[in-house]
Amino acid sequence: MEISETRTAPYLRSLSRAAAPSAAGANPAAAMAAAADSATIMGVPETELTPKVRAAIMGLLDEVQRLRDELRQSVKRIAYLERLADQDSLLPVINRRAFVRELSRMLSLGERYGIVSSVLYFDINGMKAINDTHGHAAGDAALAQVAEILAENIRESDVVGRLGGDEFGVILTQADLAMAHEKAASLAAAIEDAPLIWKGREVAVGLAYDAQVFGAGDNADRVLDAGDRAMYQRKQATAGARST
């Protein structure tokens, strides 16, 4: 049952008494009688209520207040659980479910208002080597550092999330393809220029990335899939160039 502030407000006034007369020389007895006559519970003069009826009404008022308190606590609890459901289990960024929801929201806004936005796709290079050489704790630290650098170098209107494993996504609002590629390169350079310091040793962290513009007719899954495939092709091409 939904209990609103407007509906319950009249019932939460247990007693309402008239103010004392302000005119000089007013009859005190008459003023007391007028105040007594105006004492009400839920709009009913108190003098017309029997003790049992009054006690029952007051009990109902207490129950309404208790339900309002419970509702307030439930709303807070739901908000906390929603934030928890959106948070990545390891990093201070949103998870894939929340990222897809935000991307879908931006797709809808873009289709409605003609806003051009982009999504960046990042994948950490050599994550397995970091884990094998330095341990999984070092790998977790590398993920955390990447997440922090991404979050610190985007606008408040942009969104960063972990898409799974060592993959991250960034939604850039009102950014065309040229702006997206420029920003992706800038973020990748910022991460590569800040090697992880693990137990006194530098651990290089590099990224493969791609940028995709989305617009009318797109959907979140298609955009992410296109970004993933393009990023993988770019990663393979980079690896092939290094091996030759």
- The answer to whether 148 and 92 are in contact (CB under 8 A) is yes
**Which pLDDT does position 54 carry in this prediction?**
81
**Which pLDDT does position 16 carry in this prediction?**
42
Count of residues in the chain: 244
Does the pTM exceed 0.75? no
d(CA 141, CA 196): 8
Burial 157-179 (b: 16+ CB within 10 A, else e): ebbbbbbeebbbbbbbbebeeeb
d(CA 236, CA 107): 29
**Which pLDDT does position 85 carry in this prediction?**
77
The domain segmentation of the chain, as residue ranges, is 5-86, 96-243
As a whole number of Å, the CA-based R_g of the chain is 31
* C-alpha of 117 from chain center: 20
d(CA 244, CA 240): 6
Q: Position of tokens 């009913």?
A: 44
Q: Among residues 179, 178, 174, 208, which one has the least CA distance to residue 191?
A: 208
pLDDT (tens, 9 = 90+) of the chain, 244 residues, equals 444 444 444 433 333 433 444 444 455 555 544 444 445 666 777 777 788 888 888 888 899 999 999 999 898 888 776 776 789 989 999 999 999 999 999 999 888 888 889 999 999 999 999 999 999 999 999 999 999 999 999 999 999 999 999 999 999 999 999 999 999 999 999 999 999 999 999 999 999 999 999 876 788 888 888 888 888 787 777 665 555 5
Assigned CATH topology for domain 96-243:
Alpha-Beta Plaits (3.30.70)
Q: List the beta strands (DSSP E) in 51-192.
A: 117-125, 159-164, 167-172
**Which pLDDT does position 103 carry in this prediction?**
94
Q: List the beta strands (DSSP E) in 3-152.
A: 40-41, 44-45, 117-125
Looking at the DSSP assignment, which residues form a beta bridge with residue 121? Answer: 169, 210
Q: Is 91 left (phi over 0), alpha (psi -120 to 50) or beta?
A: beta
* Cβ atoms within 10 Å of 208's Cβ, excluding its own: 21
d(CA 96, CA 169): 9
**Which pLDDT does position 27 carry in this prediction?**
58
Q: Among residues 141, 170, 144, which one has the least CA distance to residue 157?
A: 170
